[in-house]
Structure 1
Amino acid sequence: MSLISDEHKVYWNKINYAFPILNDTIVSDCTDLEYIEVQQIITGLGIQNKIRDLIVTHIEKYVRQQVAPQFWAKFSKVEEEIKGFQLFKSAVNDLYDAVNKFSGMLRRLIILNNSCSDNKTIFGERDVISGFILIIRATLLSQLPVDFNIIIFHFYKLSFNVFDNEYESPDMSEDVMCSGCWNDYSECICSYVVKVFYETNRKLMEMQLLERLTGQVLTNFIQVRVESHIQRVCTGTFDVSHIAHLENWLETTVMTWLTRIYCGGSSKPPPDNKNIQNAIYKFKQKLHYFLYHTYTKLRIDQLFNIIIEYPDSQPAIDDLKQCIDKTDLRPTLCRVLQSALETRLLHPGVNTPDILTAYVATIRSIRHLDPSGVILDTVTKPVRSYLRNREDTVRSVVSSLTEEGSGSELAEELAKFAAEVDDDGEKEEAWDEWVPDPVDADPKVNASNRKTSDIISMLVNVYGSKELFVNEYRTLLADRLLAQGVINTEKEIRHLELLKLRFGESQLHNCEVMLKDISDSKRINALIHQDQTFQELNNKFTANAMIMSAQFWPPFKDESLELPEEIKQHFDAYTKSYEALKGNRTLNWKPHLGNVNIEIEIGEKKLELTVSPFNATVIMHFQSKPEWSLDELHQVMKVPITVLRRKITYWQSQGIISEKGTDLYVLVEGSDAKSNVSTNQVQEMICEDDESESVMASAHDQREGELQVFWSYIVGMLTNLDCLPLDRIHQMLKMFAALAPGTECSVQELRQFLDTKVRTHQLVFQGGMYKLPKT
């Protein structure tokens, strides 16, 4: 017995005719006029809501079982770009045709939906078409194959190559291979690729699948192309600015290509379509950020080399300065540069002058990159710490400050400071040019000091005191004055005046007196040599003394040397003449300092040499006695045997003295002497002695001597209080020690001094406390 009447069967057949999807087909010959009758039947029966929901359910089923599998079946894993291009084009065309077959049925579904009483939307969309597109999109994306992006990548890669080739090389000769499609020019398919490219993107846009299906692949592809372009254009070149070229390439090539994707081949978005305009604008913002980010990362990796080549590499610094404010890579820059400085500079294999050169270049370049000084302060902390622990840092800095020529950057900086010293008022920052510090700035550091500190100030701040640099310069100046045969006082005065502008006159008063001593010594020598009494007593040789004011010159190394008696008599006569000239002043001779011009005759040979007083004394003893043991020389010269053994090698190297036995030396006479010298009757030689080490006490040694004044106070404290920590000892020294100006002791210096006493077993350090050892 049938439960459905024949009349209802007729109605259902008519509904199936209007909506064949109910029978899993989508093609229908139902016209709009015929559907009016069907719509009346549905409305009359009051089943429009149920029919609509049933049709939507069948559409979902059909798309899931028929359309989506057929579409994804084309996405096979292929290696050839042109094959992948064709597969993607075919898949999109088939999908587009399948979607268009729903058009008639969707028109009828719109009429049906409008007649429904519940006003229910399809999956929350505002109309039937939007709901249908949502079904298509959701169903396709729910069945994504694993390697779906391969042929999409091939599709856009080939099309971009064609577009890029058309943009960069529009004129192509017939005898070359096309760089767009990589075919012979006679078989070029670029025009076909462009046509298919535009048509395929237009269809994807109509189906609202472009961004959902290709967006991530397209973004990744463009990022790869941007990275490769930046690497190709910018790697290894620092003397040319690239950012403007890169921005122009992104705008004219990449963004034009993207615009044609979204606009179906047009180079400009439609003025009335805000969705397309917004999509292109957002893509443009992302790509510009990616461009700046990628370029900045490349330059950060190369930043050490850029710094070393500064100022030739200033265009690269300018680009980096422009990009760093547009990205979030500022912490990365600090971390990478700090690591590069530590790895490539801060180890024993690098000479201190080379470290200082790199440090100065870092200061100049990073100051240009970040005028606030925050990045510079961050990245150079390890460099400052390392330089502080290198013994020759101060001497290297001072030597560089007083070097001549254009090779010394610190000397140029000193001269530059002197030239700008009168313009301090103009350096003040105008109120309307003020900018706040970066967010990573240390609030405890004065911003103005960080911005205005020059290179020399930063080097001085490594040690925190100008006195150490001034003392080292005084020692270096003393070495130079004592080592030079002819002293260029004009050059030294010029250096001194520059340093006085930088460090102050009071700090360099001693150096001024030292240079004055040089000119006074010339005048005094001339007066003494004119003294008739002195000339009568001393006619064997002449002596020119450099008379130094003891309290103004740095301390000398403690070295002893007993001169021959005739030399001592000559010095005594010189002293008496000086006392007669100066009244209540006398001379305290330093016999181990200076140079001696001697003439040696051995057999038929004559040698003229310039040697140290030590070597002159040695050879004078061999004049009176041809054979000496080290112990005998030690007795007469009052010099330690170890020093004698080391220094007598000078005469051995000259071929004048040979070692006859263990610690027994003999004068080489006759034809055996100086066998490597020409056999001329008179051989003249001006030979520099091999003594190159400083005769002055180092700044470190001087400071150690100054700190010895604290020792008696420290012993008294620990005797009365048994044990004390470092901070307490430092506080008590400041309170009770009557210190002269300039002899202040920092906590770090005090710790080093006390640790030295611990190593020599004069103190015991236990549990963070210092105490005297038990006797």
Structure 2
Amino acid sequence: MGEIFDVDDVVTKIQYAFPILNGKIHSNCTDEQFTEILNEITKRNLTKQIKAIIINEIERYVREYIAPNFWSKFTNNSDETQGFECFKSAVDDLYTSSIEFLPLLKRLELFNDTNDIIYLYGQTNHLSQFKLIVRATLLSQLPLFHEIIIEQFYKIAFNVFCNTDNSSSLDTSENEATECGGCNKELDSCRCQLIVFMFHETNRKLIELELLERLVGNVLTSLIHIRIKEHVNRVCDKSFDVSQLVPLEHWLETVVLSWLTRIYSGGSSKTEALTEKIRNAILKFKKKLSHFLYETYTRIRIDQLFNIIIEYPDSQPAIDDLKICLERTDLRKILIVNLQEALKTRLLHPGVNTPDILTAYIAAIKALRQLDPIGVLLETVTEPIKAYLRNRTDTVRCVVSGLLDEFPSDLADELVKGESLQLDDGSADEENEDWEKWMPDPVDADPAKSTQRRMSDIISMLVNIYGSQDLFVNEYRTLLADRLLSQLNYHTEREIRHLELLKRRFGENQLHFCEVMLKDIYDSKRIDGLVQSNVMYSSETAPFSVSALILSAQFWPPFKEEWKLELPKFVQDQLNKYVKAFETLKGNRTLCWKPHLGNVHLEIELKDRKLDMNVTPIHATIIMHFQDKSEWALEELAEIMHVPATVLRRKITFWVSQGLLKEISNDIFHLQEESSPKNRSAAEIIEEEEVESAMASASDQREEELQVFWSYIVGMLTNLDSMPLERIHQMLKMFASQGPGAVECGLPELRQFLDKKVREHQLLFSGGLYRLPKL
């Protein structure tokens, strides 16, 4: 038989050595008594069983007493100061309760020997096992509002830390405040030093209990994220001309991470004193916070990007910062969506003038190319701008006017660079590519536009809105004609300089007609001099002198269809004499006058005043008729001048506004020989004279040119039934765009032309195919 022993006696001794079995922590058992009891337990081979029972009781005690007591101090209280005190008190009580277990844990260690090691949750050390039990039990009983108290504690501490950190840089005027910026108390009763001390003490206890990361990690992260957002918003509020990224990184390192280091070290600001594990944790936290900083900064700059673009190049530092952040975040798609929406709501609507849209578009080209040198962002973001400009009737004229602007402007500066035009025709100069520096395009890039994206300059991009340079060349011809006819002199130096710059862009062949136009002005000066010296013309007494601009009709843009103004007889006689002198000089050539064009210098002598002014021929003709007759009916005057009554009424208001004519009854006008107080000076008269273009608009001219293609398109669709856009374009290039003087048409312009025919019900479009409607 085995040895017989008294079970009750053994149980009593074990309970005496480990009072935790009776729900108590402190033991009165001396070391000698414990050694005797331990030997008896070991002798009876009960070590494993006793240790398991004791650990079970420790878990029960922590679950029923320590954890509930800890969480009982966490209440949904809105007072931050009270929340700070509650959290500190809870940690203090938890730490005190845990310290009381140290003697018990130390005695449990004596149970172990080399042949008897119990692993609990992977821990071989009883102290580590105890901390794990406390941590797991606390986290299993989390109350609903536990993070509120924790946030209040760390929020107050962070305020104090930031205030202390910045106090040295404050001016004396700021220090005259009666309230402390850290603890919000009166300066005489400032608690900042006490708060710092309690803060570090609390963190030290949490670190020792290995509870810091698990208990407050999420709250710390959330609190720091809020601080980062507030700081970035404050620093970057509408400030684009200074780089903010480096100061923000410095703030993150010196303020936020320094505070974290103090938390994990229990008060020390030096990382050398930390363990390798803690240093790695701080380093990992730093990477996450740096990424959050970049993401926050990027989102703010994306919201401000429209203003940043408008202020470019003054906003260059903000663009540079954003470029760095986009490489470190994944926010390109958000940038594209937000910027396109901002452009549509703030720029692309009827309330914005076309020159302003072009200015913003050019600024966007420059800024986005700086942001993304490959050009993918530019290509994607500006597509709505190009589509909108394509539908504005004055876009081409505004672009050409910008190119010819005498004042410093973006387009004029681009023209001076003298680069050749690059059209999106699908061709690429691969020989000029530097393949050693080649980088693949981002995944959101359109591979079909890769080459053009790298090559196109600002002027080329504006031309490519329409896909053809013909419209711009025609607009330039029209604008050049207006400028030459409006100045009515023989000075062409400025126009020649512009023409030479444009020839470097568009080629000499495209601008040949413009060269002829300028040559006409030069020849006109020479011919007019010869006519004026002609004896037959100059020997007779003439009522006035005539100078003429002699134009080659086939090289100038078509004029607007105007009524044939009937000039006074003495004026027409003088013009006829000029024609005879010209015919004598040129032999088989003659002149056809455009009587509605030109400039007339008038000297008007009335009873009480004399006026000296320059007006248009129709205005001069109107007032000359009042020289013979002081009162005219509108219809009667319109019939004599061969001018529509509606046009004459609009023109005659000029003289009414100057006080020379008065409408005494409906459509009856009378000459005012004497001035009234409302009459204005001649200087004002000249300023108010309306200036209208004598040329047909370039868009009207282009519409007429494109009609050349219509017969080809009708023939193709009659034979082939239906065709896609690309096929129609290829066949037009093959058959309709050959030979000298042939009209060219780009793919986007052809699409617009065909879509207009669809709207006019002359074509049908379905499934990507165009066809003729069935009769």
What TM-score comes out, normalization by structure 1 length?
0.90
Q: CA deviation at 1:508?
A: 2.2
1:615 matches 2:619? yes
Relative to 1, partners in 2 of residues 1:126 and 1:451: Cα closer, same or farther, differing over 3 Å? farther
Of 452, 461, 465, which aligns to 1:458? Answer: 461
Of 212, 228, 232, which aligns to 1:230? Answer: 232
* Root-mean-square deviation (Å): 3.2
1-side partners of 2:393 and 2:736: how far apart?
28
1:501 matches 2:500? no
Relative to 1, partners in 2 of residues 1:721 and 1:454: Cα closer, same or farther, differing over 3 Å? closer
Amino acid in the other structure paired with 1:440 = D
What corresponds to 1:146 in structure 2?
144
- Does the 8 Å contact 2:86/2:149 carry over to 1? yes
Deviations 1:494-537 (A, max 9, x none): 22222222222332222222222222211211110000101245
Of 614, 638, 642, which aligns to 1:638? Answer: 642
2-side partners of 1:370 and 1:723: how far apart?
42
2-side partners of 1:634 and 1:770: how far apart?
49
Amino acid in the other structure paired with 1:363 = I
What corresponds to 1:555 in structure 2?
558
Relative to 1, partners in 2 of residues 1:5 and 1:63: Cα closer, same or farther, differing over 3 Å? farther
For 1:360-399, list aligned pairs within 5 A: 360-399=362-401
- Does the 8 Å contact 1:304/1:337 carry over to 2? yes
Of 293, 298, 301, which aligns to 1:299? Answer: 301
- Does the 8 Å contact 1:608/1:684 carry over to 2? no
Q: CA deviation at 1:723?
A: 7.7
- Does the 8 Å contact 1:562/1:636 carry over to 2? no
2-side partners of 1:370 and 1:86: how far apart?
52
1-side partners of 2:619 and 2:495: how far apart?
29
Relative to 1, partners in 2 of residues 1:156 and 1:553: Cα closer, same or farther, differing over 3 Å? same
Q: CA deviation at 1:236?
A: 1.9
1-side partners of 2:722 and 2:247: how far apart?
70
Q: CA deviation at 1:96?
A: 0.8
Relative to 1, partners in 2 of residues 1:260 and 1:676: Cα closer, same or farther, differing over 3 Å? closer
Amino acid in the other structure paired with 1:151 = I
Of 120, 137, 144, which aligns to 1:122? Answer: 120
Q: CA deviation at 1:678?
A: 8.3
2-side partners of 1:738 and 1:247: how far apart?
60
1:70 matches 2:69? yes
Deviations 1:669-693 (A, max 9, x none): 533x6764489xxx89862563322
Bigger shift: residues 127-136 or 540-549: 127-136
Bigger shift: residues 486-495 or 323-332: 486-495
Bigger shift: residues 8-17 or 601-610: 601-610
- Does the 8 Å contact 2:631/2:671 carry over to 1? no
- Does the 8 Å contact 2:723/2:770 carry over to 1? yes
1:355 matches 2:357? yes
For 1:216-365, list aligned pairs within 5 A: 216-270=218-272, 273-365=275-367
Relative to 1, partners in 2 of residues 1:394 and 1:59: Cα closer, same or farther, differing over 3 Å? same
Amino acid in the other structure paired with 2:27 = S
Relative to 1, partners in 2 of residues 1:42 and 1:344: Cα closer, same or farther, differing over 3 Å? same
Q: CA deviation at 1:654?
A: 2.8
1-side partners of 2:574 and 2:419: how far apart?
47
What corresponds to 2:188 in structure 1?
186
1:95 matches 2:94? yes
Q: CA deviation at 1:351?
A: 0.6
Amino acid in the other structure paired with 1:374 = V
Bigger shift: residues 355-364 or 155-164: 155-164
Q: Which runs of 5+ in 1 are unaligned?
A: none
SS at match of 1:598: strand
2-side partners of 1:225 and 1:260: how far apart?
17
Q: CA deviation at 1:215?
A: 0.4
1:161 matches 2:163? no
1-side partners of 2:126 and 2:343: how far apart?
65
SS at match of 2:48: helix
Amino acid in the other structure paired with 1:157 = K
- Does the 8 Å contact 1:611/1:689 carry over to 2? no
Amino acid in the other structure paired with 1:209 = L
SS at match of 1:360: helix
Relative to 1, partners in 2 of residues 1:623 and 1:439: Cα closer, same or farther, differing over 3 Å? same
Relative to 1, partners in 2 of residues 1:105 and 1:115: Cα closer, same or farther, differing over 3 Å? farther
Amino acid in the other structure paired with 2:462 = L
1-side partners of 2:176 and 2:465: how far apart?
67
Deviations 1:709-750 (A, max 9, x none): 234445556677788776676565455546555512345544
Deviations 1:164-192 (A, max 9, x none): 22221148868743322222333222222
- Does the 8 Å contact 1:48/1:116 carry over to 2? no
1-side partners of 2:62 and 2:480: how far apart?
93
Deviations 1:386-414 (A, max 9, x none): 111111111111111111223x2221232
What corresponds to 1:654 in structure 2?
658
SS at match of 1:597: strand
Of 570, 576, 581, which aligns to 2:574? Answer: 570
SS at match of 1:34: helix
Relative to 1, partners in 2 of residues 1:28 and 1:312: Cα closer, same or farther, differing over 3 Å? same
Relative to 1, partners in 2 of residues 1:298 and 1:493: Cα closer, same or farther, differing over 3 Å? same
Identity of aligned residues (%): 55
SS at match of 1:446: helix
What corresponds to 1:743 in structure 2?
743
1:606 matches 2:603? no
SS at match of 1:444: helix
Q: CA deviation at 1:114?
A: 4.5
SS at match of 2:110: helix
1-side partners of 2:722 and 2:433: how far apart?
52
2-side partners of 1:60 and 1:85: how far apart?
29
Bigger shift: residues 88-97 or 318-327: 318-327
Relative to 1, partners in 2 of residues 1:297 and 1:714: Cα closer, same or farther, differing over 3 Å? closer
Q: Which runs of 5+ in 2 are unaligned?
A: 423-428
Bigger shift: residues 214-223 or 430-439: 430-439
2-side partners of 1:247 and 1:754: how far apart?
56
2-side partners of 1:238 and 1:37: how far apart?
79
2-side partners of 1:227 and 1:618: how far apart?
72
- Does the 8 Å contact 1:18/1:38 carry over to 2? yes
Bigger shift: residues 67-76 or 598-607: 598-607
Bigger shift: residues 739-748 or 493-502: 739-748
Relative to 1, partners in 2 of residues 1:751 and 1:629: Cα closer, same or farther, differing over 3 Å? farther
2-side partners of 1:375 and 1:344: how far apart?
19
- Does the 8 Å contact 1:715/1:772 carry over to 2? no
2-side partners of 1:26 and 1:684: how far apart?
108
1:512 matches 2:515? yes
- Does the 8 Å contact 1:96/1:203 carry over to 2? yes
2-side partners of 1:71 and 1:543: how far apart?
108
2-side partners of 1:84 and 1:413: how far apart?
65
1-side partners of 2:654 and 2:249: how far apart?
69
Of 526, 529, 535, which aligns to 1:526? Answer: 529
- Does the 8 Å contact 1:239/1:313 carry over to 2? yes
What TM-score comes out, normalization by structure 2 length?
0.90
- Does the 8 Å contact 2:15/2:21 carry over to 1? yes
What corresponds to 2:426 in structure 1?
none
Bigger shift: residues 504-513 or 195-204: 504-513
Amino acid in the other structure paired with 1:696 = M
Deviations 1:280-337 (A, max 9, x none): 1111111111111111111111111111111112122222122221111222112211
Q: CA deviation at 1:636?
A: 3.5
Q: CA deviation at 1:614?
A: 1.8
- Does the 8 Å contact 1:609/1:685 carry over to 2? no
SS at match of 1:74: coil
